[in-house]
A and B are shown apart, each in its own frame.
Chain A
Amino acid sequence: MVDLAFLLVTFFMLTTKFAPAEELVVDTPASVSELRLPESHVIMISIDKDKRVFFGMDDLKAKADLLSRVGQQYGVSFNTDQNKKFTSIASFGVPVQQLPGLLDLETEQRKEFKQGGIPIDSTNNQLSAWVKAAQSASYAAFGKPAYIAIRGDGAADVPTVLRVIKLLQDDNINSFNLITDLEGKPSVAGN
């Protein structure tokens, strides 16, 4: 029994990948779909019930590249420390101009900080810029584009979701994955 216990410990230790804490609490609706989200190369767009849009990417390798691409586009520069922190956060929701300030905060402070969401207006459409840069960064690092997953809160309003979808369609992205819970099963802690 002890042998087995240690075997399991070793197994879990080796397979564990610490999930970075989500910045945005989202309660996803349920569906009967049993498709699973791919393990890697996922761009996660979260929408909460206050119409805030957050952007996240899980590929650590492509993230530094992504940050420099978007920084260049908007004339915002990031230092090494900020770069490092950017790879460690799961998602963020501030305009790119405020991003260096957000990254300078300590983890605890960042949780306190009220992030207003990424601008998706037609005059200041930063979400498309992030997605486009993420696709090129992913292409450069892995030779294939990333999956686009939309993680919306059940109480989020449809116009915001449709607006996000429309913005992506403008960039010729027509296939989406809507993240849902499995119907009939309560969501499990740690997911």
Chain B
Amino acid sequence: MAEIQQKADSGKGGKKRAKKMSTRMDMTPMVDLAFLLLTFFMLTTTFSKPTVMQLNMPVKPKDQTEQTELKASDAFTVLLGENNKVYYYDGLLDYQTKPELQTTDYSANGIRKIILDRKQRNPGVVVMIKPEEKSTYKNMVDILDEMSITGQKKYALMSISDLDKGLLTDSGK
């Protein structure tokens, strides 16, 4: 590999000269190795840490009297159903009043538009997120993501109540 220039011995008597060696060396193998190592370390390095989404749950109140009652006009409930469906209704649910349940999806024109619309109508709206048993964790992350996209600060992640379940079955969803 290394180029060593050798002068052919002329053989015609005279003095014997020291062979002239070139000082240039072939560096190809070394560079190959260097790049191999470089590639290896580049691929094994954990460059970026995964991104995280902050979720702050309310601190458990010490006594119930500190809790403020949520007004029905401020309440907006989102139910996360199975098969990536989203159901929502305005107001609060109790035994007498049965709000109308509507269906939408997680697309930009779905729940995002509705939340933005509710926000515009009433800036004090509180979104209650209730994932149903059959919804997936992805649905939960998606809806929390929508909260940050729409800038909705007041929201709560709660577990689904029997009333909500009843509303779902009554509406045939």
Residues on A facing B (Cβ under 8 Å): 2, 5-6, 8-9, 12-13, 15-19, 28-39, 47, 149, 152-159, 161-162, 165, 169, 172, 174-183, 188, 190-191
Contact = CB atoms under 8 A, between A and B. Distances in A.
B161 interface: no
B138 A29 contact: yes
Interface of B: 27, 30-31, 34-35, 37-38, 41-60, 80, 131-142, 144-145, 148-149, 157, 159
Contact of B58 (A5, A174, A191): A174
24 contacts: A2-B27, A18-B44, A19-B46, A29-B141, A33-B53, A33-B145, A33-B148, A36-B49, A152-B141, A154-B136, A158-B132, A158-B140, A161-B137, A162-B131, A162-B159, A169-B57, A175-B54, A175-B55, A176-B57, A177-B52, A177-B54, A181-B50, A190-B46, A190-B47
A5 B31 contact: yes
A157 B134 contact: yes
Instruction: Give chain B's interface secondary structure class.
Output: mixed
Contacts of A9: 34, 37-38, 41
A124 to B, nearest CB: 22
A157 B133 contact: yes
Contacts of A33: 51-54, 145, 148
B34 A2 contact: yes
Given A2-B31, A13-B41, A32-B148, A191 B136 contact: no
Contacts of B135: 157-158
